[in-house]
Amino acid sequence: MSGTVELTKENFDQTVADNEFVLIDFWADWCGPCKQFAPVYEKAAEENPDLVFAKVDTEAQPELAQAFGIQSIPTLMIVRDQVAIFAQPGALPEPALTDVIDQARKLDMDEVRKDIAAQESQGQGQGQGQGQQSSGE
């Protein structure tokens, strides 16, 4: 499969559930950096035919953009085994996109799931800002 898949709220869950590795480009037609990133993304899709490269038009699919807290576009997100492992706004240059894909391929998803479980068991206190400090010292 070459090229990119257009994600909508109707096919998003199914696409992520059916594929082990999905890259998602959140974009809009009026966005200059999005248009600059598009050929880089398309080239990466051609060079990685084993991965699913998807696009979410934030104008046509505002619910998806809102569900993922997309603040600026373009934003690249990578989902592996239904876990979002990477999300970064900004148009990545080709070498950076290639590097991100390589790093995402090398991730040990068992370790990622263990880390997520550990964070959840800690009550999600870390990474949520400085608001909640544990009392008892």
Residue type, 129: G
Q: Which three-class secondary structure state does DSSP give residue 70?
A: coil
Q: How many other CB atoms are there within 10 angstroms of residue 38's CB atom?
A: 17
* Helical residues (DSSP H) of 5-135, grouped into ranges: 12-18, 32-47, 62-67, 94-106, 109-121
What are the contacts of 10-17 at 24+ separation with CB within 8 A? 12/56, 12/64, 15/52, 15/54, 16/79, 16/82, 17/82
Residue among 92, 93, 52, 86 nearest 68 (CA): 86
The residues annotated with a catalytic role in the active site are 31, 34
